[in-house]
Amino acid sequence: MYWYNSTADEIEQGNADIAILPIGSTEQHGPHLPIATDYLIASAFGQKIAQSLGAFLLPALPISTCMEHRGKKGSVWIRPATFMNVIADIVICLKDQGFKKIVLLNCHGGNFALGPAVRELNASNPDMKIIILDFEKFLPQMLEKKLLESRDNLHACEYETSLILYLHPELVEKEKIEDCIPTVSREYLNYASIFKYSESGVWGMPSLASAEKGEKIFNLIVNGGRDYIVRTFDYFSQNVL
């Protein structure tokens, strides 16, 4: 793996063909998790997946779109249009350096602008391929394998709390954990802040979390994510229209 702790010469000589950009967020995660939760998760997954692929790893983006968490100090966001431009600028910069395969590791569920941004980039740059690896795609497997007990895993929940208990247990304030399952569905976050539906800012059941679950979830996503990246790039290399 070549990453931000490598020198420019080491990266040049390594000649990695895949660049990985983890994307996190800086936002409230209830009373028990740090505002850096998404950033910390993105950084950890990025390092492990990049190592397995011998890829070039960029530092995780700490700020993205999280207006749905307005209402308490500490949540910081950029507008969706700004976010799309940031992603585009980074991708084109990587392209100019010779990278033809870009992976965006999305670790924040509110980055809905990422899909349209990637569609436009792929349409405008046929000589490269940009793919999204969104870790929410693995939630059904976690439930199937009984790594999660609750089906309500949206924010500061069993899933995220388990990962932080595994990766950074010193940052979890267990005595402050509160469960909350709002009576509305996820799209209501398009209409108002999460605090309209959850006084604590939690959406799920973090009381069910454990470090043991976190370790199993982490390994499942690392292995599944690596396989998805390899399979997707292989598909496009073998299926050229």
pLDDT mean over 154-159: 96
C-alpha 214/C-alpha 158 separation (Å) is: 9
Say what the pLDDT of residue 119 is.
Answer: 97
Q: From the centroid of its chain, how far is CA 201?
A: 19
User: Which residues of the chain form beta strands (DSSP E)?
Assistant: 18-23, 56-57, 101-106, 129-134, 153-155, 203-204
Give yes or no for residue 240 having a pLDDT over 70: no
Find residue 133's DSSP bridge partners: 105
Phi, psi of 170, rounded to the nearest 5 degrees: -70, -15
84 and 119 Cβ atoms separated by less than 8 Å: no
Instruction: Tell me whether residue 86 is exposed, middle or buried, using C-beta atoms within 10 angstroms of its C-beta: 0 to 12, 13 to 18, 19 or more.
Output: middle
**Structure confidence at residue 14 as a pLDDT band (50, 70, 90):** confident
**pLDDT tens sequence across 31-54:** 999 999 999 999 999 999 999 999
Residue that the structure tokens 């976050």 belong to: 189
**pLDDT tens sequence across 60-72:** 999 999 999 999 9
The strand pair at 18-23 and 101-106 is best described as parallel
Q: Edge-to-edge, what's the strand order for the sheet holding 129-134?
A: 56-57, 18-23, 101-106, 129-134
Give yes or no for residue 2 having a pLDDT over 90: no
**Structure confidence at residue 238 as a pLDDT band (50, 70, 90):** confident
Say what the pLDDT of residue 239 is.
Answer: 66
Give yes or no for residue 241 having a pLDDT over 60: no
Say what the pLDDT of residue 45 is.
Answer: 97
